[in-house]
Amino acid sequence: MKYDVVIIGSGLGGLECAHILSRQGRSVLVLERGGQPGGCMQSYPRRSVTAPHGTKPVWYDTGLHYIGGLAEGQALHDCFKQLNLLKLPWQRLDADGFNHIRIEDRDFRIAEGFDNFIDTLARDFPNERKGLETYVEALKASLNVTDLESAISQIDDGAWPFLNRTFHDPLLIDVLSATAQNMELRKQSLPLFVFTHANASYIQSSWRLKGDGNMLVHSLINDIRHYGGEVICHADVEELIERDGQLVAARCTNGEIYEGNYFISNAHPIITCNLLRNSKLIRPFYRKRVTTAENTNGILTVSLRLKPSTLRYFNYNQFVYKQRDVWEPVQVRDNGTLSIKGLMINCRAPETGEWTEVIDLLTTMPWQCCEPWSETEVGHRGEDYLKMKEQLADKCIAMAEELLPGLRNMVAECYVSTPLTYRDYTLTPEGSAFGIRKDYHYPLLCMIPTYTSISNLLQTGQNLIMHGVEGVTKTAFRTCDLLVKKEELSSQNH
């Protein structure tokens, strides 16, 4: 069978493209190398070692903790409506403080709604109201952008210089930046647009799932199948086959060949280039640009299953920083070990009742800390790696206890993922959490477009325009629009 569209990778972007295109009546095939679909959106099961035989496993999340802008008229609402994702059990976080931040010994809240956001912070920083108003203008402007691709390619201002121009009090800059686990804070490169866009929709309204992230993945896949599409796991694409200047098929490592009219790669652009290693159509300049692009840091996630009825669910995220300089949330010591300065605590919304079963502790983890094990594979990294993970979990729990006293005694099970885990499960170079790093000094160099020099190959996913659920979703719609335009053009030419 020849498919209308073959998609390589079942990350959020790949599945969203498959949903959009199969709903419109195209035959769509998604090929996923992993054993489970979803990429960074997938949840993984673990059965408690102490649980009685037959007990259901607990599912732990990877890259979905909270999202913004789901209410009517807000950033993600219309896209999620079209993707049939509004029906999932979303839990809206507290309006008077969806993010609680502790820096040293002072507590702050980030409130929902732009006016509420300004009023809440102006109570702590009365002399900064004007700066807060300027900041909100920048947030709103980033939400009003309809063409993210051209907005990213035109960025010329950095988040760090903007914040320093706009505010007098460095503590307020730290407060506004403390939710840094939703992007990579890097003074010398982070564009203002990425900073504002990644924060703005959360201030509109913030939400988490009542349950694990697989709900979102399965909802998309059920619909794709309902529309006649297919999603195949353990399908590791090793080559995109070209004939007469066009792609004709994807060949997997197991020898299976899947033919298609159009191809969309949801894999990292470096992988896409490798799938086309023999192609003359991919220009050397593009290959060099993709292979030399830097990637954002990875994330360390410590997932804790708690003993029953030990921690009441809290309807907000918590962030704790021991020191004032939030823009340096981690420090890698000379011996490669990680000194953790800031942490996000995410509480899983229970499907029923008032007690939470799972919390995640997240912090930035540069690749340097994983390098000694870079040649190892999942499950075979050795005792010293396990020890390193244990020590990091211990440090994170100690830090989280500042906000959740007695947490250590509540823990029944602990699972730790590092950038190595992400590298091996999603093939992201160096386990990068948010894909290719954007640099406001060189916007065009780090902006990888959705189209390619092969007319029937498009790309999607967090490496192209913007990361995170909102960025990836908007990119998926853009990729599909482009595909439709290409089809129209091709039918006019015939």
Residues that bind ligand FAD (CB under 6 A): 8-14, 31-34, 39-41, 62-67, 236-237, 266-267, 271, 299, 301, 422, 426-428, 433, 461-462, 467-469, 472
How far apart are CB 492 and ligand FAD at their closest, in Å?
31
Nearer to ligand FAD, 151 or 365 (CB): 365
Nearer to ligand FAD, 132 or 203 (CB): 203
Nearer to ligand FAD, 180 or 271 (CB): 271
Looking up tokens 């509109």 gives 204
How far apart are CB 309 and ligand FAD at their closest, in Å?
26
Nearer to ligand FAD, 75 or 118 (CB): 75
Looking up tokens 């482009």 gives 482
Nearer to ligand FAD, 19 or 33 (CB): 33
The burial of 68, by beta-carbon neighbours within 10 Å (0-12 exposed, 13-18 middle, 19 or more buried), is given as: buried
How far apart are CB 31 and ligand FAD at their closest, in Å?
5
Partners of 58 in the β-ladder = 46
With beta carbons less than 8 A apart as the criterion, state whether 159 and 192 touch: yes
For the record, the structure tokens of 77 come out as: 């609402």
SS (H, E, C) 53-92: CCCCCEEEECCCCCEECCCCCCCCHHHHHHCCCCCCCEEE
Distance CA 359, CA 317 (A): 10
The burial of 5, by beta-carbon neighbours within 10 Å (0-12 exposed, 13-18 middle, 19 or more buried), is given as: buried
Indicate the SS3 state at residue 131.
helix
How far apart are CB 336 and ligand FAD at their closest, in Å?
21
Nearer to ligand FAD, 61 or 413 (CB): 61
The residue number whose beta carbon is nearest to ligand FAD equals: 11
How far apart are CB 51 and ligand FAD at their closest, in Å?
26
With beta carbons less than 8 A apart as the criterion, state whether 456 and 486 touch: yes
Nearer to ligand FAD, 172 or 393 (CB): 393
How far apart are CB 326 and ligand FAD at their closest, in Å?
18
Looking up tokens 């006293």 gives 405
How far apart are CB 378 and ligand FAD at their closest, in Å?
13
Helix pair angle (129-144, 114-124), 10° resolution: 150
